[in-house]
């Protein structure tokens, strides 16, 4: 899902962005396809665009690409996605993050929707950033609240997977360390 939400107060959720439908699926087949389709229809009726796909694993990797490129930089620089896309230095960092993820996925034999990093990068700036340009990452909200972020499940996971297949991931590793440092700084200040 490329979907943003805030919790302005307990029991209230404010949807801030929906860039694409939520996709549900079951890569290991534990839940029957018909049940997943019914769940998707129910969520659709609740006003959240949702669809079922047997290729949900590819969608998960799309989400990893998107979040890994945007969330840590938005959190570190305390800015929205549109600003990140406009600054040449952050664009260069995001492109490097994406290229490293593609190299790791290829080495691990992970099938993605995109043929290569350049094809995804074009899609990223043309189709994904515009509808989410004003969005601030949840990682920033977590840091401000003194919570641990999801950095280990995003860029940190890419670093671990890269080590498994001897693919260097220096940008993802640096970003991971910077976010962890910011978490510690904020927790000491709070």
63 belongs to the catalytic site: yes
Distance from CA of residue 58 to its chain's centroid? Answer: 13
Q: Per the residue annotation, which of 63, 106, 147, 177 is the catalytic one?
A: 63
Query: Is 42 exposed, middle or buried, given 0-12, 13-18 or 19+ CB atoms closer than 10 A?
Result: exposed
Residue 134 CB neighbour total at 10 angstroms: 12
Classified as helix, coil or strand, 87 is coil
Query: CA 121, CA 91: separation in Å to the nearest integer?
Result: 10
Residues acting as catalytic residues = 63
């Amino acid at each position: 899902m490329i979907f943003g939400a805030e919790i302005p107060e307990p029991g209230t959720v404010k949807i801030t962005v929906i860039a694409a439908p939520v996709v549900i699926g079951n890569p290991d087949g534990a839940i029957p396809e018909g049940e997943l389709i019914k769940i998707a229809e129910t969520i659709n009726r609740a006003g959240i665009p949702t669809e079922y796909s047997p290729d949900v694993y590819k969608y998960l990797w799309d989400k990893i690409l998107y979040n890994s490129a945007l969330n840590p930089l938005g959190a570190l620089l305390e800015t929205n996605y549109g600003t990140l896309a406009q600054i040449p230095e952050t664009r260069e960092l995001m492109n490097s993050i994406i290229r490293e993820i593609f190299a790791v996925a290829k080495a691990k034999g992970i099938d993605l929707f995109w043929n290569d990093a350049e094809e995804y990068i074009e899609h990223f700036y043309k189709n994904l950033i515009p509808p989410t340009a004003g969005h601030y990452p949840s990682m920033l909200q977590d840091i401000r609240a003194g919570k641990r972020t999801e950095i280990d499940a995003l860029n940190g996971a890419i670093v671990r997977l890269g080590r498994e297949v001897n693919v260097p991931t220096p940008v993802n590793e640096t970003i991971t360390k910077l976010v962890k440092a910011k978490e510690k700084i904020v927790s000491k200040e709070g």
